[in-house]
Amino acid sequence: MPTITVNDLLGNRQEIEVSVGSSLMEALRDANFEDVLALCGGSLSCATCHVHIDRAFVDKLPAQSQDERDLLELSDSVTAESRLSCQIPMTEELDQMTVSLVKVD
């Protein structure tokens, strides 16, 4: 089971185990990270699960869809490492990835 490190909005770091096949958003929600609102439940209709991904792992993720890019453009906190966590399926390849939560605008 992959383990990821999560940096929360207060600068705290926490390691969590994530089931392969679940989305990163589901893992963050299930680990009770309250800053991941995930208001649409992963249906790609909001950006309240916005996270920043460790640069070393960006190329290991599936390509962004146009819908994901459009939603991220609405955020003031968008960077090259920005992703919607609902669009990241967890795989063994993502073991040891670091994710930073983003304040929802």
Per 3-state DSSP, the chain is made up of helix, strand and coil in percentages (nearest 5) of 25, 20, 55
Average pLDDT, the chain: 96
Rg of the chain over Cα atoms, rounded to whole angstroms, equals 12
Residue 42: predicted pLDDT: 93
Task: Check residue 4 and report its DSSP letter.
Answer: E
Q: How much is the average pLDDT of 56-70?
A: 97
Residue 64 has pLDDT above 80, yes or no: yes
- Per-residue pLDDT averaged across 56-80, rounded? 95
Encoded amino acid at 58, one letter: V
Supply the pLDDT for residue 104: 85
Give the CA diameter of the chain.
Answer: 33
CA 99 – CA 25 distance, rounded (Å): 11
For the full predicted model, state whether its pTM sits above 0.85.
yes
Burial label for 4, CB within 10 Å (0-12, 13-18, 19+), is buried
Q: Average the pLDDT over 60-69 and give the result.
A: 97
Distance CA 84, CA 53 (A): 10
